[in-house]
Amino acid sequence: MKTRDKIILASLDLFNERGERNVTTNHIAAHLNISPGNLYYHFRSKTDIIYEIFLQYQLLVDHYLQLPQGRQLTLEDKIYYLESVFDGLWSYRFFHRDLEHYLDSDERLRRDYREFTMRCLRTIREILSRLQDAGILCRVEDGHMKSMALNVWLVVTSWLSFLKTSQGDDGQEITRDMLRQGVYQVITMEIPYLTDEYRDRVLSLQQKYLPGSLDRMSAI
C-alpha cells in the first residue's frame, strides 16, 4: 500500500477510535512509524486528510445508493440500501460528530458536502418514488414526499449521535449492530404508507432491528 493510502486509513481508524479532536498529525505519523515531515509531504494538514476521507465516504455512499435500471425495486433492495448506509456511517463514524467544524475549516469540503447532501436527498426521493411504482408504498403528493425524504436523511444522519449521547450508562460501547437498529426508525416513518400487500412483511422485517433504546424507554 502506498504511504498516502496508509495515512488515510490510519487517520480514519484513529479518528473513529479516539475522536478527531484528540488526534494530531504527529499522532498519525507516530502510529505509522513515519516522520512528521514524510506525512507533511503527502498532506499539509489534518484538514486535507479529512477532505480525502470525505471523498472516499462519498464514493462509498454513492455506490451503495445506485438504483437498478430496467426492473422494479424490491423489499430486498430497500433493506440493502438501509443496511449499507448505516454500515457506511459506521465505517466513517467520526465524520458526523463535529461535521460543522470540518465544514467551517474547509471551503472545498463545505461545498462538496452540500452537493453530497442534495444528491442523497434526491436519491432518497427517487427510492421512495420507485417503492411506490413497485406497489410497496402508496402514492403520495410530491411536496410531501420531499419532506419525507428529508426526514429519512435527518433520522439516518442523527442516529449515531443519539446512540452515543443517550446510551452507555454502563460503559457500553456503541456497536455496528446498534447502529443498524436505525433501520427500525426509518421503517417507522414509512409504516403508514405501506400497501396492504406489503404491510405484514415489512412489519415483520422491522422487528429484526428493534433498538435496545426503545426497550429502555419502556423501563422509565
List the beta strands (DSSP E) in 122-203.
none
Grid coordinates representing 173?
460501547
Q: What's at 28, amino acid-wise?
A: I
200 forms beta bridges with none
Q: What grid cell was written down for 174? A: 456503541
Closer residue to its own copies (CB): 29 or 102: 102
- The minimum distance between CB 220 and its own copies, in angstroms, equals 6
> What is the distance between the alpha carbons of residues 25 and 31, in angstroms, rounded to a whole number?
10
Contact footprint for its own copies (CB under 8 A): 19, 21, 97-101, 103-104, 111, 113-114, 117-118, 121-122, 125, 143-144, 146-151, 153-155, 157-159, 161-162, 164-167, 169, 184-185, 188-189, 191-193, 211, 213-214, 216-218, 220
CA 149 to chain centre: 15
Looking at beta carbons only, is 1 or 219 nearer to its own copies? 219
Using the 8-state DSSP alphabet, how is residue 195 labeled? -
In the block, cell 422491522 appears at 206
Nearer to its own copies among residue 81 and residue 193 (C-beta): 193
Minimum CB separation from its own copies for residue 41, in Å? 28
Residue 43 or 113 with smaller CB distance to its own copies: 113
Cell numbers placing 133: 411504482
- Of the pair 7, 78, the CB lying nearest its own copies is at 78
CB 218, CB 192: distance < 8 Å: no
- Least separation in angstroms between CB 31 and its own copies: 20
Q: Minimum distance from CB of 73 to its own copies (Å)?
A: 21
CB of 22 to its own copies, least distance (A): 9
Do 203 and 136 meet the contact criterion of CB atoms below 8 Å apart?
Answer: no
